[in-house]
Structure 1
Amino acid sequence: MRLLLPRLPIPSLRWRRPVGLLALLPLTLAACAQPPVASTPVPAASGIPLRLMAVNDFHGHLEEEADLTLTWSASAPAGPALRLPTGGAPALAGLVQALRAQVPHSLFLSSGDLVGAAPLVSSLFRHESTVTVMNQIGLDLGIPGNHEFDAGQTELLRLLKGGCAAADPTLSSCATGPYPGARFPLLAANVVKQADGQPLLAPALVRTIGGVKVGFIGAVTRHTPAIVVPSGVAGLRFTDEAEAINRTAAALQAQGVQALVALVHEGGELDAAHRSDWNDERCPGASGAIFDMARHITPAVDVVFSAHTHQGYRCLIDGRPVVQAGSYGRGLAVVDLVLDPVTGDVDRAATRSRNLPVLNDHTPAAARARVLADTPAPWHDALAQAREDAGVAATVARYAALAAPQADRPVGRIGGSFTRAGATDSTVGRLVADAQLAATRAPALGGAQIALTNRGGLRSDLLCHGTPPCPVSFGEAFTLQPFGNSLVVMTLTGAELKALLENQAHRADDEPHWLQPSASLQYRWRRSAARGQRVQEMRLNGQPITPDQPLRVVVNSYLAEGGDGFHGFRAGRERLGGVQDLQALVEQLARGPAPDPQPRITLAD
């Protein structure tokens, strides 16, 4: 195993090893090996078998969660789709161990967003808990996702290298003793420092498997600066993913490495009717950046592991698999390769792949049996024999117990379930926007008249289990709003507000990415109108908004700095900072809100 070093023959690839990174790398495959699990071995191939297992968008979901389910349908018609209880680090560890036991060589990978936007059991401990558990499972290598940059590059490197963070009144570091850091590296070929053009992380890593060199190349979506708070990416440049992968692949080939694997934190999705068909290689209705990117990545790359969109798919693009296994540890993408010991390349004809659900102790027996009946060998046996890992469960339980006093603290009651579903704004979006308006409406607190929040900042539903009103804990509120953004009140004119709302369809797919409005703002979105003319009949508390009318608008600090491509918020004047978004939500929950069923954005043809 080795990193791609600065002695590469291509001048543009004169990379320096990031300081301290060597100490993070597992020294041998055996160093990451797990206790053996009884399983049926995979029949010997004519070459050297290598099993790759990848999790993506884990987001620190260490615990089994009652509402963490996976929509699954059989590969052939066999009744309706199932909602499978899945996930949890102990179940993920057990499945990885069962799959490892079947083959002589295996690697466990992460395709990014291992941390960030996470439940309290991860976020409270600055995600040291998640890294500790992944060390225990035996994660071999990964790549950063956009959320690894939420707290900036200094914190990312600390999380990798170890050491305690500075004291913080709300977060805990080194809660269980000295924090040693990650025993796995993160790779990124397309993230460079603006000051000197050097990579922040190693672009690639080479592992020797049965005498054959296998190269792993990482890349994170180049749109990271638009979806992370600017302070998180300060001093960094994110370049084109495919170009960076291709340059790195060429350098590896020049060193004699022919078997190549790309991990890319970028994704796509299938059409709505097929999103539970995550093993259909035809990938009906597939669209999104990763599929276009895959066609530009050099044919020398044998596998592309995808992420970012939280979707499940297993597509064949130009004869090679492009795979993603959902999110939150509910699924695991498995790709079985055969390495040719003579050429050092991958025997493409022998490549096999499968997305597997991470079944846990709460998966009903009937549902488990149906999944197993649809899963072919050799993955069937591993899925059947996987058991939750007791050691990992103990580690998760230890962190959960430390977080429990804060997580279980009741903060309010709700009069029904708030969800993120909706054609435009959602009940959760209305709840959060109303909370932010209430927290800043007083003249001394900014005099806000309108609140807008981004859908990407709403990380969970808020469910009412039983008869309303239902209690809500701090942990549930935190999981919904985990970023710790502060509120910013600013002045915009009616014309500026309209331009920002028009900008909801600024992306290439022309699909609106709805800002969630408070009850004080209503407008009509006419889909058939030309760009720039879709927002109509804007009203503030029922009264028409005029172009030159000054408005006090509150948003979170992420949007205030131009996040999600809403750069118009940077023009806001007379700014006044407010409380954190989570505090505003907790204050709203204390009022006992009920879901508002009425959308504030009206769709029209």
Structure 2
Amino acid sequence: MTLPVSPSSLRAAGRRVLLVALVAACGLAQAAEPVALRLIGINDFHGNLEPANLTLTLVDPHGGKPLRVPVGGAAAVGGLVKALRAGAPHSLMISGGDLIGAAPLVSTLFRHESTIEVMNAIGLDVSTVGNHEFDAGAAELKRIANGGCPPPQPDAVATSCTLAPYTGARFPYLSANVFDGHGHTLFAPSVIREIDGIRVGIIGAVTRSAPTLVTPSGVAGLRFIDEADAINRAARHLKAQGVKAIVMTIHEGGELGPVSQRGDWNDASCPDAHGPIFAIAKRVTRDVDVIFSAHTHQGYRCVIDGRVIIQGTSYGRGLSVVDVVLDPKSKKVIPSQTRSINLPVLNDQTDPALRERLAAALPEPYGDVLRSARPDPAIAEMVAKYAAVVAPKAAQPVGLIGGSFPRGGRADSPAGRLIADSQLAATQAPADGGAQIALMNPGGIRSDLDCKGAPPCTATFGQIFTMQPFGNSLVVMTLTGAQLKALLESQQRPGAQEATWLQPSAGFTYTWQSDAPAGGRVRDMRLNGETVVPDSDYRITVNSFLAEGGDAFTVLTRGTARTGGGQDLDALIAYLKGAPERSPVPTPRITRQP
């Protein structure tokens, strides 16, 4: 028998069903698990696809002397990334810029397409631009990002689309603080990735000093604004879209401790941390949860006011890992659950016992990651194909050397003296410019020139190309003695610990009084033993990067009677070939006092 049911009873029953459904739904929402996200950072890779002789100095877990560990190579980077991703349900790989530029032949010979293709294969998710992305100008950077095969250039060392048509980066470049002539950012300021229903924003920026670090003509028409201002504006835009978890990747950095004693790259207290990134971080909104930094090629993992600021050295020798947890209700990062670490990119040259020693000292799960990571064979195969094309060119002998030419020193270095001498020799004849002095920027010397074995050793094209990869031309100009002194005085920048030492050619010497006030540090300038006279003219050779005011040496933009010369690399090759043997000059040309 069916019992009569009143309308009010039906309404009450409906309300009960709705209430039960709402309670169940709320219970499900409250029971939703937090979402783990692993952020994997790489910075300043500079096209180091092959491990070559890359090493990393690490603290000995057992308290012994610092350990010099073989690391690096794209295959090892890919293997470590794969191991890190295997242990995380959600991950993003983020680059801090300078993926390309100032790179070995295996990248530069292919106009860096090889590096981008390898990063595509590894699975890079996003990159900010670095200053070296602008080495060949903004138009070429756009091609690198978007793909395409430009027409071949006669006599050019580098070629495009050598193995296959180049289709561009499969990851976005970001540039929140770089604007074109129309007031638009060169690339998007940020990108949003959805992680298990939670939106995560990534903002990218580059040091605002980038125009002084690349050939100025390459960034003509671009405007680089304050990093923190641009990042804060991008963060506000993300928040307006409902994004509450924000990561920042910036091509700017800092340092731990003095040059002679750097701090441990995993010491979260960051003793004696200094540099632009820390000043920028103070001004960046707290809506930014994690800061990946770059540019200074240093390793550090700082936790400042509860926020991670991290960098993993350079050249693919280390990766930075930040594990964050996202709250499914608030859609924010839970700060108390953030973990971070820098990991060495161990490769096949790393002794297994040393690998275990380093892994055992790490907290889990990072120790197991280091144990299990092995170079990715697919990436190794890709690199090998590019290396096979490069090998014949790289192996070509260019001369004999009587020892190694390191680029380190108190001021000028054996490598710097060699390059400056080669540039003077190439421009000294009256028909070639009548140069009396050559000056080389230290940042343009990208590696030592090693004598491998008992001297004399054969120097190869690959070695000297890696040492000088930019392809700058030589420029001879006239400066007065007073201008030359002003140029050298500008080597010491306000707030910098060390001067940017222009490397002088043979015959030019001076004393640098370190404790003297600004404007009075350069003393006793002499050319071939004769005092440099303030109102006399001198013919000076520099590369085209410096000639346009690169590295903030703006005095050189005022040089007169300019004469263009050949390529810097050709000058070095001719110099090495021009003598039976070239040996390192041991005597500095800059005398530092005290």
User: Could you tell me the TM-score, scaled by structure 2's length?
Assistant: 0.93
1:255 aligned onto 2:241: yes
Spell out, residue by residue over 1:317-372, the C-alpha distance to the aligned partner (whole angstroms, 9 max, x if none). 22111000000000000000000000010000000000000000001223222211
Equivalent residue for 2:256, pick from 270, 294, 297: 270
Which of 571, 575, 582 is 1:588 aligned to? Answer: 575
2:92 corresponds to: 107
Residues 1:446 and 2:426 are matched in the alignment: no
Q: Quick one: distance in 2 between partners of 1:555 and 1:336?
A: 47
Letter in 2 for 1:251: H
Q: Deviations over 1:81-135 (max 9, x none)?
A: 1111100000000000000000100011110000000001000000000000001
Q: Choose the corresponding residue for 1:181, options 168, 172, 184.
A: 168
| 8 Å Cα contact 1:73-1:276 kept in structure 2 | no
Aligned length: 559
Paired residue for 2:591? 602
CA distance in 1, matches of 2:214, 2:341: 32
- Post-superposition CA distance 1:279-318 (Å, at most 9, x none): 0011111110001111111111000000000000000122
Query: Which residue in the other structure is 1:553 paired with?
Result: 540
Measure, in 1, the Cα distance between the counterparts of 2:375 and 2:222.
40
1:45, 1:338 within 8 Å by CA — same for their partners in 2?
Answer: no
Taking the TM superposition and a 5 Å limit, the aligned residue runs for 1:435-474 are 435-474=422-461
Tell me the amino acid that sits aligned with residue 201 of structure 1: F
Once the two structures are superposed, the pairs formed by residues 454-603 of structure 1 within 5 Å of their partners are 454-509=441-496, 511-590=498-577, 591=579, 592-603=581-592
Contact 2:263 2:271 in 1 (8 A): no
1:397 aligns with 2:384: yes
Q: Is the 8 A contact 1:143 1:218 kept in 2?
A: yes
Q: CA deviation at 1:387?
A: 1.1
Distance 2:338 2:300 in 1: 16
What is the aligned-residue identity percentage? 59
Distance in 2, matches of 1:515 and 1:509, equals: 15
Map of 2:43 onto structure 1:
56
> Which secondary structure state, in structure 2, belongs to the residue aligned with residue 346 of structure 1?
coil
Query: Structure 2: how far apart are the matches of 1:279 and 1:252?
Result: 31
Please tell me the residue identity of whatever aligns with 1:228: V
The CA deviation at 1:520 is: 1.5
Specify the SS of the correspondent of 2:491.
helix
Q: Which amino acid aligns with 1:252?
A: L
TM-superposed deviation, 1:46: 5.1
8 Å Cα contact 2:480/2:534 also seen in 1: yes
Q: Do the aligned residues in 2 keep the contact of 1:111 with 1:265 (CA within 8 Å)?
A: yes
Cα distance in structure 2, aligned partners of 1:318 and 1:199: 31
Alignment partners' CA distance in 2, 1:117 and 1:428: 16
The reply to whether residue 87 of structure 1 matches residue 72 of structure 2 is: yes
Instruction: Give the aligned residue type for 1:352.
Output: R
Partner deviation per Cα, 1:454-513 (whole Å, 9 max, x = no partner)? 010000011112111111110110000000000001111111100100011134326311
Q: CA RMSD in A?
A: 1.3
8 Å CA contact 2:402, 2:455 repeated in 1: yes
> What is the SS of the residue equivalent to 2:249?
strand
Show structure 1 runs of 5+ residues with no match: 1-43
Give the Cα–Cα distance (whole angstroms) in 2 for the partners of residues 337 and 554 of structure 1: 52
Does structure 1 residue 97 correspond to structure 2 residue 86?
no
For residue 226 of structure 1, what is the aligned residue in structure 2?
212
Aligned partner letter, 2:295 = H
Report how far residue 276 of structure 1 moved.
Answer: 5.5
Indicate whether 1:236 and 2:222 are aligned. yes
Please state whether the residue corresponding to 1:222 is helix, strand or coil: coil
User: Could you tell me how far 1:271 is from its partner in structure 2?
Assistant: 1.1
Write the distance in 1 (CA, Å) between the matches of 2:62 and 2:543.
46
Report which of the two structures shows the higher radius of gyration computed on alpha carbons: 2
Secondary structure of 2:546's aligned partner:
helix
Contact kept in structure 2, 1:427 and 1:596, CA below 8 Å: yes
8 A contact 2:51–2:72 mirrored in 1 = yes
Q: Distance in 1 between matches of 2:62 and 2:381?
A: 40
Bigger shift: residues 268-277 or 135-144: 268-277
Match of 1:142 in 2: 127
The answer to whether the 8 A contact 2:32-2:328 is kept is no
Partners in 1 of 2:400 and 2:511 — Cα distance? 32
Q: 1:543 to 1:45 in 2, by over 3 A?
A: farther
Instruction: In structure 2, give the amino acid aligned to 1:417.
Output: S
Aligned AA (1:239) = I
- 3-state SS of paired residue (1:487): strand
CA distance in structure 2 between the aligned counterparts of 1:274 and 1:600, rounded to whole angstroms = 26
Equivalent position of 1:125 in the other structure: 110
The answer (yes or no) to whether the contact 2:263–2:270 under 8 Å persists in 1 is no
Partner SS state of residue 99, structure 2:
coil
Distance 1:516 1:604 in 2: 17
Q: Flag structure 2 segments of 5+ consecutive residues without an equivalent.
A: 1-30
Helix, strand or coil: the match of 1:173? coil
Structure 1 residues 204-228: Cα deviation after superposition (integer angstroms, max 9, x where no partner): 0010101111000000000011111
CA distance in 1, matches of 2:98, 2:497: 26
**1:45 Cα deviation after fit:** 11
Q: Following TM superposition, by how much is the alpha carbon of 1:374 offset from its aligned partner in structure 2, in angstroms?
A: 1.5
Residue 435 of structure 1 and its aligned partner are, at CA, apart by 0.8
Alpha-carbon separation, structure 1, partners of 2:391 and 2:496:
43
